[in-house]
A = this chain, B = another copy of it.
Amino acid sequence: MTGLPESEVDVLIIGAGPAGLMLALWLSRLGVKTRIVDKRTSKVYSGQADGFQVRSLEILDSFGIAERVWKEANRMLEVAFWNPDQDGNIVRSAHAANTIPGLSRFTESVLHQGRIEQFFLDAIRDSYTSASAALRVERMVIPTSLEIDESKAEDPDAHPVTVTLRHLTEEEATPTQMLSNLNDGIFRSNLADDDVGDILDRSKGREARDEVVRAKYVVGCDGAHSWTRKTLGEEFEMKGETTDAIWGVMDIVPITDFPDIRFRTMIHSTSGALMIIPRENRIVRLYIQLKEVSAGGGRVDRSQITPDFIFKSAQKIFSPYKLEYHYCDWWTAYQIGQRTGDHFSKLNRVFLAGDAVHTHSPKAGQGMNISMQDSYNLGWKIGLACKNILPRHVLSTYELERKKIAKDLIAFDGKFSKLFTGRPAKDIQNETGVSDDEFQKAFHTSRMFTTGVGVNYQPTVFVAKESEETDNDNGLKKSIAKSTPSLATNCKLGQRFPSYKVIRQSDARLWELHHKLPSNGRFRLVVFGGDISRPSQRDSVNALGAWLSSYLPKLPTINLSPGSDPHSGSMKFKTDADPSIVEVLLVHTAPRDEVDMLRDLHETYHPFDSKLGWDYDKIFADGETMYEEPQKAYEKYGVDPGKGAVVGLRPDGYVGLVTSLDHGGQEEIQNWFDGIFQNE
């Protein structure tokens, strides 16, 4: 016994950056008892990560946050490529689409990290019935020890992870570096030293302010210097390459005659490479290759790196265009390198996410995105395991699914960084080097990966698909359900279900289908019913409805928290009944006026509540409206209206099953869900 205060929690999150906050938001929406601690005194106020990839925006939209980003962020629609001409002057070689057109309703956007952290905090608060009950970030708190009671690791009701937390004073929590030089842009850069040791030193003798927390799960979202990772042991160390290349970053309001200053622009000049990221509020971020400093195999001399030095490098690259500034919002510098770990979890009780398991260079705007997507992948799995809705073994899918992304990420980043900093082919000094064509081609082929939409999860209980040639057997339990991918050719197994607009049967309103699939813990069956004005098709849909009405009640139920339906207004007058863990939506192609949804369709598609009447929000049509062009959703989803399809979705919106409307489909649905919810 330590004599310290002790308490229990379901999940303890260490670190309140984007990865930690995404996880906290998920767990809030799922109603899981959670704490989140951070060593810093406040959230980020400027600079830092700023790129939002389209998949991240879709995910944020599933919590109702994306509209705030979308409104405030700068949208990067086109990318410009500039290269030296024969005289060594930079000239534009092309404008191209920065995001693949048609891929998503969003395009890549930029907004500083402090705003998204604020949006997360607001959304977390909105997940509770009162602000006073809401999860809050506990700042100026660091863990000092972590132990797992391995004997209880597989007990679903145990709290086998013990963490000691230390509550710091503001003085103890403020980095020495910040105290000594508030203008030092290297703070938080990968050129800065880890300061946890310092903090612990400063707080020695203050153990009376420690407390002991027993958690079911602990997640380290504590960044590149992750204390959690180091504490888990040597086998968790990240490995990879660190180059000698140093880049500077400046967020300025530029005064320039360069014509593409408000486009994302990649400049290869004879004086080095530079990338322009136009941002909100007239700010522009410049990533600037610093040719005159080098880590030289060791540590770089940080005193060399000043805003003035970085800016002079930028001016040389921009020449003959003029570049000046009056306002600088933020600056930093970093060393290029790529590292990742082999283990993302210990005993499926302690997990690592975000920069704690992969670091790389920031220019491709991937870091915050992959980090948030790590914990987006983990959140519902941990959350539903805490609620005993999912068996513990499914937690292994986290490492399986996200380690592959991390490896892909550092491979991409290594290649992209080399291409970007390579000497341009038309360099006045020689004709070797990276050609503009080669660079542009690499940019375009990487777009599917960089948008985040290319993510393709492997076969597990969650994804009923055949292994692809590149998949090794991952040793995890597989689904015994068999999908029929040809029934929905653009709903690809293991990939995110895309969003197209459909018309609500009850009131003719067009909805992005994603807006009916919010992140609230529920699995979904999207029933593509085809032309239900044809009796045979309607009969199939109703037979499926009847079967579901007897099967689904055997599955678990879940209580929805406030905020669980962020696109449909408040929860006032929402249903009070416990909903099934599986929600059923119908999308048909019949003329809307020929469908009387209450009389023609099985109640599965319009559940009844004795106080609220029927639910009018589950049936949608693909067809004509009086205001807009037909949306052709069936064509875009790749579904034949004459056959229809049933698409099964995980709570994170990834496709897990594609099957038929008929009796065979019922069997596969049962196989899929049984494999997910039943213990081994």
Contact = CB atoms under 8 A, between A and B. Distances in A.
Interface in A91-129: 95-97, 99, 101-102, 107
Contacts of A261: 506, 616
A259 B598 contact: yes
13 contacts: A74-B507, A77-B508, A77-B509, A77-B626, A253-B612, A254-B613, A255-B610, A259-B599, A262-B506, A280-B569, A280-B570, A282-B616, A327-B573
B281 A572 contact: yes
Interface residues of A, number: 55
This protein's copies in its complex: 2
Given A262-B616, A263-B508, A508-B77, A107 B627 contact: yes
By CB atoms of chain B within 10 A, which of A281, A282, A327, A593 has the most? A282
A253 B253 CA distance: 53
Contacts of A78: 507-508, 626
A72 interface: yes
A282 B596 contact: no
Contacts of A281: 569-570, 572-573
Interface in A573-607: 573-574, 593, 596-599
Contact of A627 (B101, B262, B570, B599): B101
Contact of A625 (B77, B257, B626): B77
Contacts of A508: 77-78, 263
A261 B263 CA distance: 48
Interface string A374-392: 0000000000000000000
Interface string A282-311: 110000000000000000000000000000
Contacts of A99: 627
A327 B611 contact: yes
Classify the secondary structure of A's interface with B.
loop
Contacts of A107: 627
Contacts of A596: 259
A283 B97 contact: no
Contacts of A569: 71-72, 280-281
B507 A278 contact: yes
Contacts of A616: 261-262, 282
Interface in A7-41: none
List the 9 closest pairs (A to B, CB-CB), nearest first: A255-B613, A326-B611, A97-B626, A262-B507, A262-B506, A282-B573, A77-B508, A281-B572, A78-B508
A511 B259 CA distance: 20
A465 interface: no
A72 B572 CA distance: 12
Interface in A262-284: 262-263, 278, 280-283
Contacts of A506: 261-262
A295 B625 CA distance: 43
Contacts of A96: 626
A573 B507 CA distance: 44
Interface string A496-530: 00000000001111000000000000000000000
A526 B254 CA distance: 27
A256 interface: yes
A598 B321 CA distance: 12
A282 to B, nearest CB: 4
Given A77-B509, A613-B253, A613-B256, A97 B627 contact: yes
A423 interface: no
Contacts of A597: 259
Nearest to A97: B626
A169 to B, nearest CB: 30
A75 interface: yes
Nearest to A323: B613
Interface string A64-100: 0001000110111110000000000000000111010
A148 to B, nearest CB: 45
Nearest to A627: B101
A99 B626 CA distance: 9
